[in-house]
């Protein structure tokens, strides 16, 4: 079954991944998210697939930089 990808309308770096046709997680406002694309299983990262299988969704942030993380200076 394919996965649906969404981008948050105000915080543009946030992404949400759901199984296509699945309901939004409790506490999320549907109108805050914009559909961006649909991908097949083989085109969706294994970490995202595992999180969706475990929690019903995958939420992540794009655009992180090394500055301000434990990985950089």
Asked, for residue 36, whether it belongs to a domain, the answer is yes
Full residue range of the structural domain in which residue 29 is found: 3-61
How many separate domains does the chain show? 1
- Classified as helix, coil or strand, 19 is strand
Asked, for residue 71, whether it belongs to a domain, the answer is no
Asked, for residue 14, whether it belongs to a domain, the answer is yes
How many angstroms separate the CA atoms of 50 and 53, rounded? Answer: 5
Q: What is the pLDDT of residues 19-36, one digit of tens each?
A: 999 999 999 999 999 999
What is the pTM assigned to this prediction?
Answer: 0.87
Asked, for residue 21, whether it belongs to a domain, the answer is yes
- Residue 37: pLDDT band with limits 50, 70, 90: very high
pLDDT at 48 over 60: yes
Query: What does the block give as tokens for 41?
Result: 């299983």
Asked, for residue 66, whether it belongs to a domain, the answer is no
The whole-number pLDDT of residue 22 equals: 94
- Residue 70: pLDDT band with limits 50, 70, 90: confident
The whole-number pLDDT of residue 63 equals: 86
Asked, for residue 41, whether it belongs to a domain, the answer is yes
The DSSP annotation for 57-72 comes to -EEEES---STTSTT-
Asked, for residue 30, whether it belongs to a domain, the answer is yes
| In contact, 20 and 12? CB cutoff 8 Å | no
């Amino acid at each position: 079954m394919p996965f649906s990808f969404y981008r948050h309308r105000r915080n543009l770096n946030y992404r949400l991944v759901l199984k296509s046709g699945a309901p939004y997680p409790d506490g999320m406002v549907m109108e805050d998210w914009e559909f961006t694309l649909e991908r097949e299983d083989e085109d969706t990262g294994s970490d995202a697939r595992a999180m969706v299988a475990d929690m019903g969704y995958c939420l992540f942030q794009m655009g992180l930089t090394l500055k301000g993380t434990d990985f950089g200076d």
